[in-house]
């Protein structure tokens, strides 16, 4: 059975999924796994698609010091114990820069160009590229595909793409990219099966999780996003502030004596819901359960900014035909969905309280002028689809085996 391995690598984790390639190019998830605590307290956990556990193993910290070591452990486990040897590997890559508006087959030249983009996503891209580099060295004949979070947003018009700065900086790459594109692409391709007429119209998608953003879709294409040059922009997130006046950054440097590195760490690790709540948590579930007034304020702020950005995106679309919740918070928190819909009442949105509590696909009432949907996204499946499409197009070398 031919299979495709999907990899999503972060600073301290390696997540992976295996998809089987079935008739007529269909894909079916076989298993999912992760190695967390890389360099600290590494642990391999994996389960079948149905949830049946396959592995739960701790490792000495010296055995898994980095992403490459984690890849070797995951690959060895897949090969030696499950007898799985994927024919190709698809990678989640946060940033594709100005050059990549679609997924691409990786070779040394592509890798070198992606490495030059590290300054655009310094906390993500090096970890995304580490497993690519390892596989190129150890399994050079195996097709690898890079799937970019920025690619889906390359359809933005110039006025949505620019900052009000001199043109040379835009040419250099200082522009509004947008992120979470694989998630939005999945929603755009799934909506025609849920609501065909709406899918061709004007839709706002709220991807609410520890990393949160919103996207305006017109005819299934991205026309505007709350995230811009970096994944710090837009909505408040678990530990990232979202939209912030650049003057605040200047103040941190000039008045607080913070270096660029210190500011970077502060904006990525100490702000957002975590910062607003006074350190209670950046996790919406814990904030909702807390009695601390600061936790309540963090949730209030989160909901307020979602509503504010919905207005901006509705303006970009010149109207609205549907609203979609997705990602962990959007799919699992009936309370957040209810409060966001209250913020959208001025657009004629009305909630069906019963359907919202049931986590139904359609949660708006019959009286609502605009339908509201809950649609889980699947970024890994999108990566597997892109990988398979490139293999089937004949763009790649003959499949070999990896791991």
Phi and psi at residue 104, to the nearest 5°: -145, 145
CA distance 185 to 116: 26
Sign of torsion over alpha carbons 163, 164, 169, 170: positive
d(CA 340, CA 324): 11
DSSP 292-314: -HHHHHHHHHHHHHHHHHHHHHH
Pairing of strands 202-207, 53-58: unpaired
Ramachandran angles phi, psi of 258, nearest 5°: -85, 140
In 3-state terms, what secondary structure has residue 47?
strand
Question: Going edge to edge, which strands form the sheet with 43-48?
Answer: 53-58, 43-48, 27-36, 14-21, 3-9, 88-93, 144-148, 104-105
Which of the following is catalytic: 107, 149, 300, 352?
149
Is 149 designated active site? yes
Phi (first) and psi of residue 269, to 5 degrees? -120, -20
The catalytic residues are 149
């Amino acid at each position: 059975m031919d299979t495709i391995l999907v990899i999503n690598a972060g600073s301290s984790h390696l997540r992976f999924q295996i998809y089987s390639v079935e008739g007529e190019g269909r894909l079916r998830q076989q298993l999912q796994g992760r190695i967390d605590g890389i360099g600290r307290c590494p642990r391999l956990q994996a389960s079948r698609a149905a949830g049946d556990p396959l592995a739960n193993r701790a490792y000495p910290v010296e055995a898994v010091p980095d992403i490459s070591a984690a890849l070797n452990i995951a690959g060895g486990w897949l090969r030696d114990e499950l007898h799985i040897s994927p024919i190709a590997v698809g990678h989640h890559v946060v940033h594709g820069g100005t050059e990549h508006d679609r997924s691409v087959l990786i070779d040394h030249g592509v890798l070198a160009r992606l490495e030059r983009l590290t300054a655009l996503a310094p906390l993500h891209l090096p970890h995304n590229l580490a497993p690519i580099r390892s596989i190129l060295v150890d399994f050079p004949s195996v097709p690898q595909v890079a799937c970019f979070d920025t690619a889906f947003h390359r359809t933005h018009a110039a006025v949505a793409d620019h900052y009000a700065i001199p043109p040379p900086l835009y040419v250099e790459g200082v522009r509004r990219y947008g992120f979470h594109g694989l998630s939005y692409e999945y929603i755009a391709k799934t909506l025609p099966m849920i609501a065909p007429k709406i899918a061709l119209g004007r839709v706002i998608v709220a991807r609410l999780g520890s990393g949160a953003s919103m996207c305006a879709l017109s005819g299934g294409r991205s026309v505007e996003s709350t995230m811009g040059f970096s994944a710090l922009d837009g909505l408040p997130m678990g530990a990232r502030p979202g939209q912030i006046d650049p003057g605040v950054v200047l103040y941190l440097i000039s008045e607080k004596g913070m270096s660029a590195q210190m500011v970077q760490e502060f904006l990525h690790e100490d702000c957002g819901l975590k910062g607003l709540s006074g350190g209670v948590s950046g996790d919406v579930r814990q904030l909702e359960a807390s009695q601390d007034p600061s936790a309540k304020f963090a949730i209030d702020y989160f909901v307020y900014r979602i509503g504010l950005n919905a207005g901006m995106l509705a303006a970009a679309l010149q109207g609205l035909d549907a609203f979609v919740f997705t990602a962990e918070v959007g799919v699992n928190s009936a309370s957040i969905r209810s409060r966001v819909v209250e913020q959208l009442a001025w657009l004629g949105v009305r909630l069906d309280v019963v359907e919202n509590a049931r986590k139904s696909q359609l949660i708006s009432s019959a009286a609502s002028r605009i339908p509201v949907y809950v649609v889980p996204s699947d970024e890994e499946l999108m990566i597997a689809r892109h990988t398979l499409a490139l293999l089937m197009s004949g763009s790649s070398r003959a499949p070999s085996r990896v791991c």
